Amino acid sequence: MTTRPRQPGPNAPAPGKLPLPELAEMKRRGERIVMVTAYDAPGGRLADAAGADLILVGDSAAMVVLGHESTVPATVDEMLVLTRAVTRGARRPVVIADMPFGSFQVSDELALENAIRFVKEGGAEAVKLEGAGASLSRVRALVGAGIPVMGHIGLTPQSATMLGGFKAQGRTADRAVRLYEDALALEAAGCFSLVLEAVPAPVAERITAALAIPTIGIGAGAACDGQVLVWHDLLGLYEGRAPRFVKQYANLADEITRALGSYVAEVRSGAFPETKHTYAIPDEELAEFDAAVSEQVDLERA
Ligand code: KIV
């Protein structure tokens, strides 16, 4: 009897992929986890080459890629295209698709349908969804179906209007207690990790200590188990005012503008393209071509 070669199943990690349970082990060993957002195949490839553990295809794409004022307009179809591109570029990092506004709020069923699309069509290993409360039953439904879920509390941009804008959260004892309880509830619901956004560092530290799953901070201090930054913020590609928690590691906007400026100037001056940028044709072929063209011109004139 012949046996077929073993292929990874739909839920089995691809070869070379960081196994998801390794994240909790990293927390236990005190090793920091690195997450970065990405939105296309080169982004996935570069984040992988730099050694990132997790790549989030964030709905921040609505702002930094698609030019909207908030994350709310991002659609499932747009996020799917971006997710598919990132998963084509990233090998080792776990790719997490951010579920956009409207894709999980209505019901557990709709959340599950959309999460399945991110895994099947987008190739994501996991999804992220914002909030606690109603999101807890969504997390249970998704995890119950075998889809790993990352939670996200603190400043949740999809509900920024209700939160009074893009503001730090958990700055009073009551609100900090609510965040703490939400974090425990999300862990109990089955999240494998939790983003803490714009939360006072001492609050994030206590939440991190209370959880077995790793916390990934953005504006939540150094005691989180890992950190995430938005691609365009850390590389200096975003035009708007960056939040205080952003550290810019490069100024690619200036570099790109300089390079594009040189290109524009060289096209206008004729310095580009040079002979080395063009293709040759054998002399006899060119002579034949010239003869054919002049014959055609003569015929048109006759
Ligand atoms: O959409 C996003 O990029 C995010 C990160 C800021 C955590 O949710």
Exposure of 39 in the CB half-sphere (CA atoms within 13 A): 15
| Ligand 1 neighbour 97 (Cβ under 6 A) | no
Q: What angle do CA 143, 145, 149 make, to 5 degrees?
A: 30
For the range 112-116, what are the long-range contacts, defined as Cβ-Cβ under 8 Å and sequence gap of 24 or more?
112/141, 112/142, 112/145, 112/147, 114/76, 115/142, 115/145, 115/147, 115/149, 116/145, 116/147
Helix (H, G, I), strand (E, B) or coil at 229: strand
Q: How far apart are CA 25 and CA 202, in angstroms?
A: 23
Residue 245 Cα to ligand 1 middle (Å): 13
Higher pLDDT among residues 196 and 242, named by residue = 196
Residue 59 Cα to ligand 1 middle (Å): 6
Give me the pLDDT at residue 184, please: 98
Q: What is the mean pLDDT of the chain?
A: 94
Which residue CA neighbors atom 5 of ligand 1 most closely? 58
Give me the pLDDT at residue 241, please: 79
Encode 250-273: b = buried (16+ Cβ within 10 Å), e = exposed: eebeeeeeeeeeeeeeeeeeeeee
Residue 232 Cα to ligand 1 middle (Å): 11
Residue 14 Cα to ligand 1 middle (Å): 25
| Ligand 1 neighbour 230 (Cβ under 6 A) | yes
Please report the atom of ligand 1 found closest to the CA of residue 37.
3
Please report the atom of ligand 1 found closest to the CA of residue 71.
1
Which residue CA neighbors atom 4 of ligand 1 most closely? 58
What does the pLDDT look like over 31-81, one tens digit per residue?
Answer: 999 999 999 999 999 999 999 999 999 999 999 999 999 999 999 999 999
Which residue CA neighbors atom 2 of ligand 1 most closely? 58
Helix (H, G, I), strand (E, B) or coil at 227: strand
Give me the count of residues in the chain.
302
In the set 125, 130, 187, 197, the catalytic residue is 197
* pLDDT surpasses 60 at 287: yes
Whether 182 and 174 have beta carbons less than 8 Å apart is answered as: no
Whether 204 and 223 have beta carbons less than 8 Å apart is answered as: yes
Q: How far is CA 221 from CA 9, 123, 268, in A?
A: 38, 31, 49
* pLDDT surpasses 50 at 211: yes
Residue 249 Cα to ligand 1 middle (Å): 18
| Ligand 1 neighbour 220 (Cβ under 6 A) | no
At 297, the pLDDT band (50, 70, 90 cuts) reads confident
Probe target for ligand 1 pocket from 228, 229, 234, 244, with the most ligand atoms within 8 Å of CB: 228
Give me the pLDDT at residue 1, please: 43
At 11, the pLDDT band (50, 70, 90 cuts) reads low
| Ligand 1 neighbour 60 (Cβ under 6 A) | yes
25 is catalytic: no
What does the pLDDT look like over 87-105, one tens digit per residue?
Answer: 999 999 999 999 999 999 9
Q: How far apart are CA 45 and CA 210, in angstroms?
A: 34
* pLDDT surpasses 80 at 4: no
Probe target for ligand 1 pocket from 230, 231, 232, with the most ligand atoms within 8 Å of CB: 230
105 burial via Cβ count (<10 Å: 0-12, 13-18, 19+)? middle
What does the pLDDT look like over 159-182, one tens digit per residue?
Answer: 888 888 889 999 999 999 999 999
Residue 231 Cα to ligand 1 middle (Å): 10
Sign of CA dihedral 130, 134, 135, 136: positive
8-state DSSP, 248: -
Q: What is the share, in percent, of the chain residues with pLDDT greater than 90? A: 88
Q: Across residues 236-254, what is the average pLDDT?
A: 91
Probe target for ligand 1 pocket from 35, 195, 246, with the most ligand atoms within 8 Å of CB: 195
| Ligand 1 neighbour 228 (Cβ under 6 A) | yes
